[in-house]
Amino acid sequence: MLVRRFEEAGSAVSYEIYGYSGDLAFAPSPLPAPNTLPESVASLEDALRQGAALAGRPVEAFVDVTQGRSVEIDLISALRSRSLSPLRLGMPAEAVEAMLGVPEAVTCLSEGAVSWFYGSVHLSFEARRLVQFEVDKGVADFTSLRFASWFLRPKMTIDEVALALDARAVPHRRVTRYDLPMLELGEHEGPRFLFDFDEQQSTLHALYWLGA
């Protein structure tokens, strides 16, 4: 049983309860929610009580999924070096879990491909290997993977992101990929960061770190 906290700008904090069969492993099987379970609750205490009742265990059985583990990365240094060390592209899922703790949610994309969620950070795996990092909309909702020098925010335009990179001496170039405007840091053949933007509004859609 997993309790997740949601906090979006302009909205009250809410909590949702998810059930999985077995452990929250690489690609767990979700359990259908009972009809009596509300879509969300307003307090952590209520969420824990409902989760405990469904799981048949006391509230004290719930533990922090991060297991006390955390990593902080300086975003500016990462962008300049095109690296999120100590994370590595190709890192086994087990090594990521040992570093960051159990993910707060898991989405199965296709056979052998999943996304793990740590706050607003998405980590994508194929064949149990890390292939991509993503943060949508610039949202700084960080848990066990945190960032110093984070300057992104929702609804930043491509010009605002480019100016912010210039002000921090981060080299970049404007490109168009998949008919979308992007800012690219690094060579297309190797590890690189991409900022992509909504085609209509030209506002920040996501920051990615990926390989060739």
pLDDT category at 102 given cuts 50, 70, 90 is confident
Q: What is the dihedral of CA 61, 58, 25, 86, to 10 degrees?
A: -30
Q: Is the pLDDT of residue 95 over 90?
A: yes
Split at pLDDT 50, 70, 90, the class of 20 is confident
User: What integer is the mean pLDDT of 56-71?
Assistant: 79
| Cβ pair 114, 105 in contact under 8 A | no
Instruction: In whole angstroms, give the CA distance from residue 167 to residue 12.
Output: 34
Span 54-64, average pLDDT: 78
pLDDT higher than 80, residue 72: yes
Q: What is the full DSSP assignment across 56-85?
A: TS-GGG---TTTT--EEEEHHHHHHHT--T
